[in-house]
Amino acid sequence: MTAQTDYRLSQLDELEAESIHVFREVAAEFEKPVLMFSGGKDSICMMRLAEKAFYPAKIPFPVLQVDTGYDFAEVLETRDHWVDRLGVRLVVASVEKAIADGVVVDDGKTSRNRLQIGTLLNVLEQEGFTAAFGGGRRDEEKARAKERIYSHRDDFGQWDPKNQRPEVWSLYNGRIRQGEHMRVFPLSNWTELDIWHYIDREQIEIPSIYFAHRRRVFERDGMLLGESDNVTLKPGEAVTERTVRFRTVGDMTLTGCVESTASTTAEIIEEVAASRITERGATRGDDRFSEAAMEDRKREGYF
Amino acid sequence: MDLLRFATAGSVDDGKSTLIGRLLLDSKAIFEDQLEAVEQTSMARGYDYTDLALLTDGLRSEREQGITIDVAYRYFATPRRKFIIADTPGHVQYTRNMVTGASTANLGLVLVDARQGLTEHSRRHAVILSLLRVPHLVLAVNKMDLVGYDEAVYEQIQADFQSFATKLTIPDLTVIPISALKGDNVVTRSTNMPWYEGPSLLHHLEHVHVASDRDLVDTRFPVQYVVRPKSDDFHDYRGYAGRVAGGVLKPGDEVLVLPSGFTTTIEAIDNFDQEVAEAFPPMSVTVRLADDLDVSRGDMICRPHNAPKPSQDIDAMVCWMGTAPLRPRQKLAIKHTTRAGRTMVKDVQYRLDVNTLHRDQETKELALNEIGRVQLRTTVPLLCDPYSKNRTTGSFVLIDEATGVTVGAGMILSAD
Ligand SMILES: Nc1nc2c(ncn2[C@@H]2O[C@H](COP(=O)(O)OP(=O)(O)O)[C@@H](O)[C@H]2O)c(=O)[nH]1
């Protein structure tokens, strides 16, 4: 950024400044913050913002990933690049291990996504993290639209939407009691399009599955899912090869892709700007089960 | 493209949700799957039309009760601007919600129903926006279709409001006749009201000038975080990170650091890996100083002849959000800029009736959702300005020390 005579910030610069402020505030006030890294574009933008917030020092907290066992290889690869480049400590909490240890119960019906909740809460408690950054955005979903930037969690990691602390000006209240923690959402005011503009502007490395590629897919509940060892085809489901990309990344057994030829960030921006369907609605099986699906998971302690 | 944050207020059924739904829909911020869900729900409930208000009903408890209980944030953009709407419900917990929404807003949008004219509610909304020093106010006179698009109705409401507004601080007021349902003057100028010569609501939102609302004269830089890499490459690096709260900082500027009172000059200003020539609000930057001083979080960098006076005696308007009332001698935690301390309530001078502006000096306490003038004594000196001068260095929050809950929002009148 160079000298600006009219003293105006672009909206992207203003969002960046706000997010950086949040990162610094948490680093200054919390004993043990951690950044929840899913490998998706939002959490990668968080990494970028954290990098900027503390530069030239290293990011003063570790990065936490909850490994569902069903993660895309491309996502794990990008994660490793970022962790190496920034020299941060990576904490991996594995859902498989949590199942083996009896922390969560795999009854064969519960999705990996849902089992992440117990796994996550367990690792937060075990490691004693007092603040956990999440990449949630308020434009994503109706319940999120009301969530604070600092979102207080009780002893059980639960969110109480009816009892949120007022959040005035940018004076964040970081008070927690023993056993409680804070979820912090530095990207609250960003939209999906803002994220893409930022990725484009900053030339941020994101997993290749966001870009158009050939993939063997099948249709389920109106979504396109990738073929993998972890999903068994139901009768009538047929695999075909198509040119697709992912709009969100998560548990590969639940995350759908869309047919697209967008192979650069600029092309993705065009596609997102013209898109008439929310990214979750299009591609997240976990949010479709009920009108209040996200709110329920959030209450329990989801990201 | 820049950013405009605005807060909406209106009482139940004035048409706030319809208006927001329309702004989102016409700017294509509503997606098909969201619209379909709302159409389905409207049908299932037996409505004759798609209830756009459902787009903004967030939480399950709200859907069940059919009311909105908490501030919700919405986003839309036009080629000129990105907008963040703080949608503040006007009935339950209205003060808390409005204060929250207005605290960060550049503009306040108050809706009235043309058939009813100004109500106690609309006056109250304007009072809160004025107290929070939201620099621009739009009064949208809605449901003009139901009064035959009559100019006289509009004129009357405008006149009523203007006479009331003389008691308030509203630097910039615009009154727009609209129909949220029919779309008149929302996005495009209406042909039904040729007598109205002003802009459509969206046009006004896109063009209202907000950059000059920031104080670019009085330098205020609350130190938020000290950056010390302790690495081989940046061995001696020591930077003070924070967000500019006022003024313009430049390398070479002579500065005063409070509370220590030392002066030095700015050596460089870093924005990530680049040095910048200037830093102004609301940039987040890292300032390096020429001298090795002991500067830490909570300190303030300002100019030698333009600095706030450190003070422990604070006179402020407080909006109380705690369930138990605020009383004299009560002890609370306080957070002001990047400073934290404790405070004791010395006196509750009066309670402000936000409907009539009457100052009630009889009560010595503030109940939930009441606003009043309060004297505080703090354990640490605050480096503050009057809220009317600077919304960042003039504001604070009060926190209940036992529960950790935010119970008060304060706006400083003066400090000695
Ligand atoms: N005729 C007419 N009806 C309106 C207008 N705006 C809103 N309404 C209706 O007024 C009722 C209340 O509107 P709603 O947006 O839910 O109000 P809210 O409680 O302020 O959010 C609904 O039946 C709307 O369809 C308008 O401009 N003209």
Q: What is the pLDDT of residue B124?
A: 87
Per CB-CB distance under 8 Å, the chain A contacts of B272 are 51-52, 55
**pLDDT tens per residue across span B16-71:** 888 998 888 877 777 777 778 778 887 888 877 777 767 766 555 555 555 556 78
How far, in Å, is the centroid of ligand 1 from the Cα of B16? Answer: 7
Whole-number Å distance between alpha carbons of B366 and B318? 9
**Radius of gyration, CA atoms only, chain B:** 24
Q: Which residue has the higher pLDDT, A118 or B26?
A: A118
**pLDDT tens per residue across span A208-250:** 999 999 999 999 888 899 888 888 888 888 999 999 999 888 7
Whether residue B13 has its Cβ less than 6 Å from ligand 1: yes
Question: CATH for B220-302?
Answer: 2.40.30.10
What's B310-415's CATH class?
A: mainly beta
Question: What sign results for the dihedral spanned by CA atoms A164, A147, B396, A23?
Answer: positive
Q: What is the pLDDT of residue A2?
A: 45
Whether residue B10 has its Cβ less than 6 Å from ligand 1: yes
Q: CB A169 to CB B335 under 8 A? A: no
Question: What sign results for the dihedral spanned by CA atoms B62, B145, B85, B36?
Answer: positive
User: In the predicted model, what is the mean pLDDT of residues B382-388?
Assistant: 96
Contact of B369 with B95, CB cutoff 8 Å: yes
Q: Which two tokens stand for residue A7?
A: 């003293």
Q: Residue B372 — very low, low, confident or very high, per pLDDT cuts 50/70/90? A: very high
Residue of B181, B184, B190 to test ligand 1 pocket, by largest number of atoms within 8 Å of CB: B181
Mean pLDDT (chain A) is 87
Q: What is the pLDDT of residue B244?
A: 98
User: In the predicted model, what is the mean pLDDT of residues B391-407?
Assistant: 96
Half-sphere exposure of B90 (CA within 13 A, CB side): 24
pTM, rounded to two decimals: 0.92
Q: What is the pLDDT of residue A291?
A: 46
Q: What is the pLDDT of residue B318?
A: 97
Q: Percent of chain B having pLDDT more than 90?
A: 72
Q: What is the pLDDT of residue B58?
A: 52
User: In the predicted model, what is the mean pLDDT of residues B121-143?
Assistant: 94
User: In the predicted model, what is the mean pLDDT of residues A53-81?
Assistant: 92
- The closest of B179, B13, B5 to B91, measured between CA atoms, is B13
**pLDDT tens per residue across span B81-127:** 999 999 887 666 678 888 999 999 999 999 999 999 998 888 889 99
Q: CATH 2.40.30.10 spans which residues of chain B? A: 220-302, 310-415
Q: Residue A298 — very low, low, confident or very high, per pLDDT cuts 50/70/90? A: low
ipTM for the complex shown: 0.93
Which site among A153, A154, A171 would you substitute to test the B interface, given the most B Cβ atoms closer than 10 Å to its Cβ? A171
Q: Looking at A283-287, B72-76, B163-167, B308-312, which range is the least confident one?
A: A283-287
Per-residue DSSP letter, B385: -
Q: Looking at A104-118, B159-173, B253-267, which range is the least confident one?
A: A104-118
Q: Percent of chain A having pLDDT more than 70?
A: 89
Whether residue B180 has its Cβ less than 6 Å from ligand 1: yes
Distance from CA of A202 to the nearest CA of B (A): 12
Q: Residue B230 — very low, low, confident or very high, per pLDDT cuts 50/70/90? A: confident
Q: What contacts A107, CB < 8 A, 6 or more positions away?
A: none
How far, in Å, is the centroid of ligand 1 from the Cα of B157? Answer: 18
A143 touches chain B (CB under 8 A): yes
Q: Looking at A147-161, B19-33, B220-234, B303-317, which range is the least confident one?
A: B19-33
B-proximal residues of A, 7-46, CB under 8 Å: 7-18, 20-21, 24-25, 27-28
Checking if the pLDDT of A289 tops 50, the result is no
Fold of the CATH domain A11-192+292-300:
Rossmann fold (3.40.50)
Mean pLDDT (chain B) is 91
Domain ranges across chain A: 11-192+292-300, 194-287
Looking at domain B2-212, which of 3.60.15.10, 3.40.50.300, 3.30.990.10, 3.40.190.10 is its CATH number?
3.40.50.300
Checking if the pLDDT of A256 tops 80, the result is yes
Q: What is the pLDDT of residue B91?
A: 67
User: In the predicted model, what is the mean pLDDT of residues B142-148?
Assistant: 97
Tell me the sheet residues that pair with B221.
B301
Q: Residue A24 — very low, low, confident or very high, per pLDDT cuts 50/70/90? A: very high
A-proximal residues of B, 65-94, CB under 8 Å: 69-75, 77, 81-82, 84
Q: Which residue has the higher pLDDT, B16 or A303?
A: B16
- The closest of A61, A60, A115 to A93, measured between CA atoms, is A115
Per-residue DSSP letter, B55: G
User: In the predicted model, what is the mean pLDDT of residues B239-260?
Assistant: 97
**Other C-beta atoms within 10 Å of B14: how many?**
25
Strand pairing category for B300-302 and B225-227: unpaired
Q: Residue A34 — very low, low, confident or very high, per pLDDT cuts 50/70/90? A: very high
Q: What is the pLDDT of residue A145?
A: 83
**Would you call the peptide bond into B386 cis, given omega within 30 degrees of 0 as the criterion?**
no
The kind and range of the H/E element at B195 are none
Half-sphere exposure of A200 (CA within 13 A, CB side): 16
